[in-house]
Amino acid sequence: MLLLDRRSFPRDKPCGDLIGVRALRAALRLGVSETDLREYPRIAGAIVTTEGGELDLAPRSGWGQRLLSGSDARVVPRVVFDDLLVRSAVRAGATFRQATVRDVGPWASGARVVSGQERHGALSVAARAVVVAGGYGCRVASDAAPDDRDESPARGIAMRGYFRDVACPADRIVFSLERWLLPGYGWVFPLPGGRANVGVGRLAPPHDEGGEETHLHELWQRFIEDPRSPTAQWCRDAVPDGRPRAWPLDLGPRRRPLTADGLLVAGEAAGLVGPLTGAGIAFALESGERAGWVIASALESGEATKDRLSPYGRETRRRAAPWLRAELLAQRFLADAERARRFFDVVRPLPPTGALGARLLLHLG
């Protein structure tokens, strides 16, 4: 098994860093150990801020604590988390090589040729099966599994920065749905030692007008500095820890092909990114794990033809579609600031809201 990535590890990746319940379970199945994560404490709940005030989502009863007892979610920087995944793959027998993949050739004689550039020369590898997980705008995925539908997926854009001396709750993730952030949101995700990942995300305009990142940076600064922002109270004495970074997202759900002869598409390249939250780590890990099992079964019974790989596409859609569609509906609902305010005013006093809300949000990452 050969693992190719254009970057060496450990490497930073701009992200909110929330490793939700589903993502953490998948990571542990894939070989990441509890010991590897001991520095990063379990999240106990969430805070949602709206025009109507704060909503603290955490269990307040024995029933609520039991409901949340198995919901282990943590905030782990991707520079740490992704390196743990690569190390786990190598321990399991994979060979890691740093290379930029340019092309996955056509299926011929039971294999595809993966070509590109390594540090010291050209890359050319014949593979009986290939998993393409190239992330945003992955040209290799669209070339290798072409889609004849004229579909322009919704896009998101986000920006995050790390800060020291942030006075946010150490055991809560914070989501901000202030009117001026919609249709998007802001977040404050705590890290050990008073650090935090602070960011904003929003839908990108349908056409690239060239000013997306500039506008996003202004929104991000307002989220941190404006006295009317709920985040300003926590970031009053905060010190930037490096420069902020922005990144684009291909939001789901999408209907692109996920399989071809000798090839599977996983993660964001498959459109497996939540349209409300921009979260895709759990989808990426679950789809990658599923791809491995399906390929192993196909190769054991013969060639990894499209027919033999088709269970991957069916199962991936079956598991991901309900999440993605639910997020899409929630996004459309919460895009109306007044409607969002009325909704939170209604659920705020209900006894189950804290535990149920925390469980839902901790499963999104």
Same domain flag for 123 and 265: yes
Q: Does the pLDDT at position 206 exceed 70?
A: no
Distance CA 19, CA 3 (A): 22
User: 76-90, 148-162, 272-286: which range is least confident on average?
Assistant: 148-162
Residue 365 has a pLDDT of: 72
Distance CA 313, CA 152 (A): 20
CB 289 within 8 A of CB 89: no
Same domain flag for 291 and 238: no
Among candidates 117, 129, 85, which has minimal Cα distance to 259? Answer: 129
What average pLDDT does range 285-293 have in this prediction? 97
Distance CA 62, CA 92 (A): 40
CB 267 within 8 A of CB 280: yes
User: 92-101, 133-142, 201-210: which range is least confident on average?
Assistant: 201-210
Give the CATH number of the domain where residue 355 resides: 3.30.9.10
Distance CA 324, CA 333 (A): 14
Distance CA 93, CA 315 (A): 26
Q: Which tens digits make up the pLDDT trace of 53-67?
A: 899 999 888 888 898
Residue 275 has a pLDDT of: 93
Same domain flag for 142 and 177: no
Residue 89 lies in a domain: yes
Distance CA 275, CA 183 (A): 11
User: 3-12, 123-132, 144-153, 180-189: which range is least confident on average?
Assistant: 144-153
Question: Which residue spans within 168-315 are E strands per DSSP?
Answer: 172-176, 184-191, 195-203, 239-240, 245-250, 259-260, 263-265
Same domain flag for 328 and 353: no
Same domain flag for 187 and 233: yes
Q: Does the pLDDT at position 208 exceed 80?
A: no
Q: What percent of the chain has pLDDT over 70?
A: 96
pLDDT band for 139, please (50, 70, 90 cuts): confident
Residue 24 has a pLDDT of: 97
Phi-psi map region of 220: left, alpha, beta (phi>0 left; psi -120 to 50 alpha):
alpha
User: 88-92, 98-102, 128-132, 327-331: which range is least confident on average?
Assistant: 327-331
Q: In whole angstroms, how far apart are CA 119 and each of 22, 82, 97, 116, 212?
A: 35, 21, 10, 10, 33
Q: Does the pLDDT at position 209 exceed 60?
A: no
Same domain flag for 181 and 143: no
Residue 190 lies in a domain: yes
Give me the domain span that covers residue 6: 2-40+76-152+252-332
Same domain flag for 212 and 87: no
Q: For residue 257, give the amino acid letter.
A: P
pLDDT band for 255, please (50, 70, 90 cuts): confident
Q: Does the pLDDT at position 118 exceed 80?
A: yes
Residue 151 has a pLDDT of: 61
Same domain flag for 142 and 170: no
Residue 70 has a pLDDT of: 87
Residue 33 lies in a domain: yes
β pairing state of 155-164 and 195-203: antiparallel
Same domain flag for 138 and 184: no
Same domain flag for 147 and 261: yes
What average pLDDT does range 141-169 have in this prediction? 83
Q: How many domains does the chain have?
A: 2
Residue 226 lies in a domain: yes
* pLDDT, greater one: 213 or 233: 233
Residue 246 lies in a domain: yes
What average pLDDT does range 231-248 have in this prediction? 95
Nearest-5° angle of CA 277, CA 136, CA 74?
40
Distance CA 176, CA 289 (A): 32
Mean per-residue pLDDT over the chain, rounded:
92
CA dihedral 22, 24, 331, 327 (to 10 degrees): -20
Residue 140 has a pLDDT of: 83
Residue 138 has a pLDDT of: 87
pLDDT band for 173, please (50, 70, 90 cuts): very high
Q: Does the pLDDT at position 150 exceed 70?
A: no
Residue 136 has a pLDDT of: 86
Tokens of residue 111, six digits? 């294999």
Residue 49 lies in a domain: no
Same domain flag for 170 and 123: no
pLDDT band for 172, please (50, 70, 90 cuts): very high
The SS3 call for residue 332 is: helix
Residue 361 has a pLDDT of: 92
pLDDT band for 149, please (50, 70, 90 cuts): low
Residue 240 lies in a domain: yes
Give the CATH number of the domain where residue 36 resides: 3.50.50.60
Q: Which tens digits make up the pLDDT trace of 65-92?
A: 898 888 999 999 999 999 999 999 999 9
Q: Which tens digits make up the pLDDT trace of 7-28?
A: 999 999 999 999 999 999 999 9
- Looking at residue 210, what DSSP letter applies? S
Same domain flag for 125 and 96: yes
